Amino acid sequence: ALAVKFAERQRSHHCLLVKEHQVREGADTAHPPRRTLFVLNVPPYCGPDSLSRLFSRCGHVQSVDICDKPGPGEKKDKLASKFFDHKTLKGFQVAYVVFRKPAAVQAAKALSQEGPLLISTESHPVKTGISKWIASYEASIVDPKELKAEVDAYMQDYDKKVAEEEAKAAMEEGVPDEEGWVKVTRKGRKPGLPRTEAANLRVLEKEKQKRARKELLNFYAWQHRETKREHIAQLRKKFEEDKQRIALMRAQRKFRPY
């Protein structure tokens, strides 16, 4: 248990539970064993930068990964999007602190013997209260230029990936595989229907109409009875409407002697 304080004037301290991260070989690719410190009970105001500064006295911190719950991590090829798929973690969390050397993990565990450590300092204050809300609101405002640059970069990567897949498919077209099978693609005069919602709805409507034409009306006895019941119900409904119309016409009739 590692005691930490948010500020010097704070009387009570908060406990971070730390241990060496141990998993099976190859189970966690993002958090290597013997160099990763597993931290529990991380408060919401304690971000990756705060944890990195807190444990930097033990050794060089390579990365800090904060999650809502423990789980296997995977290596990230590129940074997450700033505008899309952004998840805000709330409440107490867990963290994985990866050091450059294994000795830093043992040094971090030995910090429990010292007094409470400060998370927020004058040189690196942690924002709370109104200042934190203002910073969160400013961060929520989208910059059109940054958004356009990120979308353009994503579309360029997507177009490049599609071009590579098409080039690979063109090279493999007509070439038999190891077992002698030839891959057939949907190219030619009838390449197939586009995978759009409107096209799918049109296909479903055509199939429904085709089934309706093939279906035999009043083939079964229960179908004949249902048709009679519906016809009688419609006649009764029309009769009631006619009665109401005649009563309304009689009520509106006026005396005209000449």
List of E strands, 57-148: 61-67, 93-99, 117-118
> Does residue 136 sit within a domain?
no
What confidence score (pLDDT) does residue 156 get?
92
List of E strands, the chain: 2-5, 14-20, 36-42, 61-67, 93-99, 117-118
85 vs 4: CA distance, rounded Å = 32
> Does residue 103 sit within a domain?
yes
User: Residue 23 sits in a domain of what CATH number?
Assistant: 3.30.70.330
Count CB neighbours of 45 within 10 A: 13
166 vs 226: CA distance, rounded Å = 56
Q: What is the pLDDT of residues 176-231, one digit of tens each?
A: 777 777 776 665 555 555 556 777 788 888 888 887 776 666 677 787 788 889 99
> Does residue 101 sit within a domain?
yes
197 vs 203: CA distance, rounded Å = 10
Number of domains, the chain: 2
Task: Find the mean pLDDT for residues 123-147.
Answer: 80
Residue with the bigger pLDDT between 213 and 150: it is 150
> Does residue 237 sit within a domain?
yes
Q: What is the pLDDT of residues 68-125, one digit of tens each?
A: 888 766 555 555 666 676 666 677 888 999 998 888 888 888 887 877 887 877 777 7
Among the listed residues 132, 114, 129, the one whose alpha carbon sits nearest the alpha carbon of residue 55: 114
Most confident of 5-9, 236-240, 253-257: 236-240
Task: Give the neighbor-by-neighbor strand order of the sheet with 93-99.
Answer: 61-67, 93-99, 36-42, 14-20, 2-5, 117-118
Q: Which residues contact 148 (CB under 8 A, 6 or more apart)?
A: none
> Does residue 12 sit within a domain?
yes
Task: Find the mean pLDDT for residues 132-143.
Answer: 82
Q: What is the pLDDT of residues 169-178, one digit of tens each?
A: 878 777 777 7
Q: Which of 91, 111, 126 is the last residue of a domain?
A: 126
What confidence score (pLDDT) does residue 212 get?
75
Report the phi/psi class of residue 27: left, alpha or beta, with left for phi > 0 and alpha for psi in -120 to 50.
Answer: alpha
Q: What is the pLDDT of residues 9-44, one digit of tens each?
A: 777 788 888 888 887 766 666 788 888 889 988 888
Residue 114: domain span: 2-126
| Contact between 36 and 98 (Cβ < 8 Å) | yes
Task: Find the mean pLDDT for residues 231-245.
Answer: 93
252 vs 245: CA distance, rounded Å = 11
